[in-house]
């Protein structure tokens, strides 16, 4: 076999080895970056989960103290619990909030509420009051059970 052919084979093998090393290094760096991003996302998710749990605790305490009505607390707690993606096994603990929220979620809020006539607002207030009278005990009891728990 001629020397130039052996030299050519050596150059080809060396080139392929360098390409393989290059891609191994890139893969190593990419995996490290992905691991770092996943760790950051996990940390951020944990922080967000803690913030949501803290908000739920504040709402429950405010409801029990009479600082917020059960209808408003239910709407807020129900929305916060949806963000947490709580397993079905634990969702029975806050079904009272979901029941109240479902009963009044059709009622306009913010600017839509302001655009209603006085008669419409009064009709909606009656609906809210009726649901509060109906479900208030269950909602307050659920809030008492949720105090100190983390979801």
Q: Does the global pTM surpass 0.85?
A: no
Task: Supply the pLDDT for residue 139.
Answer: 94
Within-domain flag for 108:
yes
Confidence of residue 13 (pLDDT cuts 50, 70, 90): very high
CA distance 84 to 131: 26
pLDDT of residue 66: 93
Instruction: Determine the angle formed by the axes of helices 70-84 and 118-146, rounding to 10 degrees.
Output: 60
Q: Is residue 151 part of a domain?
A: no
Residue 82 has a pLDDT of 87
- pLDDT for residue 141 is more than 80: yes
User: Is residue 71 in some structural domain?
Assistant: yes
Query: Structurally, how many domains does the chain consist of?
Result: 1
The 10s digit of each residue's pLDDT in 90-108 is 777 788 999 999 999 999 9
What pLDDT, on the 0 to 100 scale, is given for residue 149?
84
**Residue with token string 């634990």:** 90
Per-residue tokens: 128: 């809210």
Q: Would you say residue 16 has pLDDT above 90?
A: yes
In percent, how much of the chain has pLDDT > 90? 78
Is 61 contained in some domain?
yes
48-82, pLDDT tens digit by residue? Answer: 999 999 999 999 999 999 999 999 999 999 999 98
| Mean pLDDT calculated for residue range 134-138 | 93
CA distance 125 to 142: 23
| pLDDT of res. 57 | 95
Which residues span the domain enclosing 76?
A: 3-146
* 3-state per-residue secondary structure call for the chain: CCHHHHHHHHHHHHHHHHHHHHHHHHHHHHHHHHHHHHHHHHHHHHHHHHHHHHHHHHHHHHHHCCCCCHHHHHHHHHHHHHHHCCCHHHHHHHHHHHHHHHHHCCCCCHHHHHCCCHHHHHHHHHHHHHHHHHHHHHHHHHHHHHCCCCC
């Amino acid at each position: 076999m001629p020397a130039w052919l052996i030299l050519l084979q050596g150059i080809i093998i060396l080139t392929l080895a360098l390409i393989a090393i290059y891609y191994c290094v890139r893969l190593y760096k990419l995996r490290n970056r992905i691991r770092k991003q996943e760790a950051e996302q996990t940390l951020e998710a944990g922080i967000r989960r803690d913030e949501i749990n803290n908000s739920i605790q504040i709402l429950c305490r405010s409801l029990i103290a009479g600082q917020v009505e059960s209808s408003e607390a239910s709407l807020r707690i129900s929305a916060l619990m949806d963000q947490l993606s709580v397993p079905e096994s634990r969702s029975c603990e806050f079904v009272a909030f979901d029941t109240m929220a479902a009963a009044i979620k059709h009622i306009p809020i913010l600017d839509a509420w302001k655009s209603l006539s006085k008669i419409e607002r009064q009709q909606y207030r009656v609906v809210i009051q009726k649901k509060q009278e109906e479900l208030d005990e269950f909602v307050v009891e659920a809030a008492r059970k949720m105090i100190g728990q983390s979801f």
